[in-house]
Amino acid sequence: MEFIHEPVLLHEVLQWMNVRGDGVYCDGTLGGGGHSEAILRASRGTASLYGIDRDETAIAAASERLRGFPGFHAIRGNFHDGKELLREAGAGKLDGVLLDLGVSSPQLDTPERGFSYHADAPLDMRMDRSRGMTAADFLNTADEKEIARVIREYGEEKWAARIAAIICEHRRQKPFATTFDLVEAVDAAIPKAVRRREDGHPARRTFQAVRIAVNDELAPLDQALRDFASCLKPGGRICVITFHSLEDRIVKKCFKALENPCICPPKAPICTCGRKPVLRVLAGGVITPSEEETERNPRARSAKLRVAEKIGEG
């Protein structure tokens, strides 16, 4: 697979990351290395950058792309473990962190990865194919209530209960093996009249939900953000790009908590809890792509960028 991915909100990331020469940066979701390359070029090749990804194909592609930058260091792993991975790599304190969450275009566009509902392929969906259960494993073994919960919470799908029931009915006849097996189950669950009224593919929310569950994308995110904040130097910045409301809510809530961590009663005359602000939210909260970018790259339409700056040692 040729891992080519157009970096989303690239201009905005560079603007708010405030890249400087000899800085130390982390791209926690390395992908094909597009954002990383831009950061390294903005530093005139003098920065150190640690790129983390759990996808072995992404690591190989980015390492090839960035081989001309002596300060680039590839790390195979999950950004949820970023603090420990950076410690093991000897990274020290950081001037900036970037997280571009979710599935990348090359993963979506490679049928055998099983992320896309547009092509019939093995139902995998793992970002790290060396470990963990596949999407097929999950759908063939989880009970109906768990499948419904995942589709409802992670896909925000109102037909979740019916989809889960149809999935369990289908797997009794034949275990799930391919992406089209799942598409057929969703098609059978959602009434035709509803499918005709909706924009987009009827299976998109279910595929998103199963992918999130298989890769455990949401539960560790809050702690990962806090860990990366603790890795920043004072004045260092963290930039996070999200593509759906579930991720964005977690990022927004975490940044708000780190900006105002005080737990004293609202009417208390002075703070007695001793909790100090760690981050300062920048850019008025959220940045969205320009109309020009969304016209050029439709997948950027739902992207949101949130930025915060380290103001303490916590």
Q: Which domain holds residue 40?
A: 10-102+218-310
Residue 107 lies in a domain: no
**Residue 163 in contact with residue 186, Cβ under 8 Å?**
yes
Residue 1 lies in a domain: no
Provide the terminal-to-terminal Cα distance of the chain, rounded to the nearest Å.
Answer: 41
pLDDT of residue 275: 84
Shared-domain flag, residues 64 and 118? no
Residue 263: band (very low, low, confident or very high) from pLDDT cuts 50, 70, 90 = confident
Shared-domain flag, residues 264 and 297? yes
Residue positions counted in the chain: 314
**Residue 112 in contact with residue 132, Cβ under 8 Å?**
no
**In this structure, what CATH number is given to the domain that contains residue 203?**
1.10.150.170
Residue 40 lies in a domain: yes
Pick the last residue of a domain from 215, 236, 269. Answer: 215
Secondary structure of residue 4 in the 3-state scheme = coil
Shared-domain flag, residues 139 and 94? no
pLDDT of residue 273: 84
Residue 240 lies in a domain: yes
Residue 189 lies in a domain: yes
**In this structure, what CATH number is given to the domain that contains residue 22?**
3.40.50.150
Quote the number of domains for the chain: 2
Shared-domain flag, residues 229 and 252? yes
pLDDT of residue 102: 83
pLDDT of residue 280: 96
**Residue 6 in contact with residue 295, Cβ under 8 Å?**
no
Provide the phi-psi class of 284: left if phi over 0, else alpha when psi is between -120 and 50, else beta.
left
Shared-domain flag, residues 208 and 222? no
Q: Give the pLDDT confidence of 126-171 residue by residue, as tens digits.
A: 999 899 999 999 999 999 999 999 999 999 999 999 999 999 999 9
Location of structure tokens 């961590």? 261
Tell me the whole-structure pTM to 2 decimals.
Answer: 0.92
Residue 5 lies in a domain: no
Q: Give the pLDDT confidence of 33-78 residue by residue, as tens digits.
A: 999 999 999 999 999 999 999 999 999 999 999 999 999 999 999 9
Output the six-digit token pair for 67.
């081989």
Dihedral pair phi/psi, residue 72, rounded to 5°: -85, 135
Shared-domain flag, residues 202 and 284? no
Q: Give the pLDDT confidence of 241-255 residue by residue, as tens digits.
A: 999 999 999 999 999
Residue 266: band (very low, low, confident or very high) from pLDDT cuts 50, 70, 90 = confident
Q: Give the pLDDT confidence of 178-225 residue by residue, as tens digits.
A: 999 999 999 999 998 888 787 788 999 999 999 999 999 999 999 999
Residue 3 lies in a domain: no
Residue 181 lies in a domain: yes
Pick the last residue of a domain from 215, 249, 275. Answer: 215
Output the six-digit token pair for 202.
């009827």
**Residue 19 in contact with residue 58, Cβ under 8 Å?**
no
Shared-domain flag, residues 92 and 229? yes
Asked whether residue 3 carries a pLDDT value surpassing 80, the answer given is: no
Distances (CA, A) of 89 to 7, 28, 51, 72, 159: 25, 13, 11, 12, 45
**Residue 31 in contact with residue 43, Cβ under 8 Å?**
no
Chain centroid offset of residue 197 CA: 29
Q: Give the pLDDT confidence of 65-122 residue by residue, as tens digits.
A: 999 999 999 999 999 999 999 999 999 999 999 999 988 777 877 889 999 999 999 9
Asked whether residue 262 carries a pLDDT value surpassing 90, the answer given is: no
Q: Give the pLDDT confidence of 280-301 residue by residue, as tens digits.
A: 999 999 999 999 999 998 889 9
Shared-domain flag, residues 227 and 86? yes
Shared-domain flag, residues 63 and 192? no
Shared-domain flag, residues 98 and 222? yes
Pick the last residue of a domain from 185, 215, 245. Answer: 215
Shared-domain flag, residues 211 and 222? no
Secondary structure of residue 78 in the 3-state scheme = coil
Asked whether residue 313 carries a pLDDT value surpassing 70, the answer given is: no
Shared-domain flag, residues 239 and 287? yes
CB atoms within 10 A of CB 12: 20
pLDDT of residue 5: 64
